[in-house]
Structure 1
Amino acid sequence: MENRPDIQVSVVYAQKTGEVWRARLVLPSGTTLLEAVRASGFEKAFPAYDLNALQAGVFGLARPADAPLRDGDRVEIYRPLAFDPMESRRRRALHRAKLSPKR
């Protein structure tokens, strides 16, 4: 097995309460996003979060679970959406249409 240099990454999760859970890790180079999440202790801290449906990114850009990380990356775990954005837009448009004066 080759000797790979270590990388430093952080894993963050913004909770609904406004608090931010953080873990700073030193991992082998080539570690994937999912491996970093698992190594961070996130599963133990948030057992209700389904990692099979993991939505995460690096510095605000969505990335797949198998994306390799680089030194200094910040892995951001996203909360599941509470609503469908398209449905929300449709409802707002309907509401505006009802309020606007007829021509």
Structure 2
Amino acid sequence: METEKSIDVEVAYARAQAQALIPVKGQPGMTLADAIERSGILARFPEIDLAVNKVGIFGKVAKPEQVLASGDRVEIYPPLIADPKQARKQRAADTKAAGA
């Protein structure tokens, strides 16, 4: 059986004004951080700060040292604008005030 010589993954990033899905080819053992570096996406979207932005694979948060498999989609998530718990509390308070 022939060993796999390279793997193919995609690096994805989306914001309101622009989206990118960049194919990346690498060697087995390539990490999530390696794929982001190879994709060139950090130069294309300078607002990405990997110390702030979470990253993941197919919607699940992962660590930058996570080893990728062929077909994985690496995703860079934008920082949250609002805390989801606080937003839910505010909506509940607004609904209660409107009904009173």
Structure 2 runs not aligned, ≥5 long: none
Moved over 6 A (4+): none
Q: Which runs of 5+ in 1 are unaligned?
A: none
Is 1:90 the counterpart of 2:81? The answer is: no
TM-superposed CA distance for 1:85, in Å, is 0.7
Match of 2:10 in 1: 10
- Which has more radius of gyration? 1
**1:60 matched to which residue of 2?**
59
* Superposition CA RMSD, Å: 1.7
% same residue? 34
Q: TM-score, normalised by structure 1?
A: 0.84
Taking structure 2 as the reference length, the TM-score comes to 0.87
Distance 1:16 1:78 in 2: 12
User: SS of the residue aligned with 1:52?
Assistant: coil
